[in-house]
Chain A
Amino acid sequence: MTNRDPMKDQVAIVGLGSTGFTRNGDESPLAMALRAATEAITDAGLTAADIDGVVATSEPAAKGPEEIAAALGITEATHHAKPSPVAMFSLLDAARAVFSGAADNVLIVTPVVMGPWNSRRAAADPWRAGTRSSILPIPEDATKAAAYAAWAGRYIHEHGATKDPFARIAINSRTNAANNPLAAVTEPLSFGMYDAGRMIRDPLNIYDMDLPVDGADAFVLTTAERGREIASAQGREAVLIHAATTGIVGKNDEDQLVGLDRTGQHVVVEQLRRTSDIWIDDIDLFYPYEGFTIITLAWFENVGFCPPGGAEDFLREHWNDDAQRLEISGRVLVNTHGGSLSEGATRGTGHIREAVHQLRGTAGDRQVDGAQSALVTPGGFFFNPQGAFLRRG
Chain B
Amino acid sequence: MPADFEDDSATDDTALIARFGGHGIDRDSAAHFRGRLERRLLIHRCDDCGRWHHPPRPMCPACWSWNITPTEVSGRGRIHLLMTLHQGPPASGVDYADGHPVVTVELEEQPALRFTSTVADGFPTDRLEIGTPVTLEWVDRDGTPTPVFGLGEDG
Could you list which residues of chain A lie within 8 angstroms of chain B, going by C-beta atoms?
A: 136-142, 146, 149-154, 157, 198-204, 250-251, 253, 255-259
Task: Report the Cα distance A16→B143, complex, angstroms.
Answer: 54
Interface string of B115-126 (1 = CB under 8 A from A): 011100000000
A137 and B89 contacting across the interface, CB-CB below 8 Å: yes
Could you write out 16 A-B pairs with CB less than 8 Å apart?
A136-B23, A138-B91, A139-B85, A139-B94, A142-B81, A142-B83, A142-B116, A146-B102, A150-B104, A200-B86, A202-B99, A253-B55, A255-B81, A255-B114, A256-B114, A258-B112
Known: A142-B81, A200-B86, A201-B84. 18 other contacts (CB 8 A): A136-B24, A142-B116, A150-B81, A150-B83, A151-B81, A153-B83, A154-B80, A157-B131, A199-B86, A199-B99, A202-B86, A204-B83, A253-B54, A255-B81, A255-B104, A256-B55, A256-B114, A259-B112
Q: How far is the CB of B77 from chain A (nearest CB, A)?
A: 12
Task: Report the Cα distance A138→B88, complex, angstroms.
Answer: 8
Q: Which residue of B lies closest to A198 (CB)?
A: B86
Q: Which residue of A lies closest to B55 (CB)?
A: A253
Question: Count of chain B residues with Cβ under 8 Å from any Cβ of A?
Answer: 32
Is B100 part of the binding interface, using a Cβ–Cβ cutoff of 8 Å?
yes
Task: Report the Cα distance A236→B61, complex, angstroms.
Answer: 51
Is B49 part of the binding interface, using a Cβ–Cβ cutoff of 8 Å?
no
Q: Total contacts A to B, CB within 8 angstroms? A: 85
A149 and B83 contacting across the interface, CB-CB below 8 Å: yes
Residues of A within 8 A of B104 (CB): 142, 150, 255
Interface string of B6-47 (1 = CB under 8 A from A): 000000000000000011100000000000000000000000
Task: Report the Cα distance A136→B118, complex, angstroms.
Answer: 15
Q: Which residue of A lies closest to B85 (CB)?
A: A201
Residues of B within 8 A of A256 (CB): 54-55, 112-114
Residues of B within 8 A of A141 (CB): 102, 116
Task: Report the Cα distance A50→B46, complex, angstroms.
Answer: 55
B116 and A140 contacting across the interface, CB-CB below 8 Å: yes
Residues of A within 8 A of B112 (CB): 251, 256-259
Q: Which residue of A lies closest to B86 (CB)?
A: A199
Residues of B within 8 A of A200 (CB): 85-87
Task: Report the Cα distance A136→B94, complex, angstroms.
Answer: 16
A150 and B82 contacting across the interface, CB-CB below 8 Å: yes
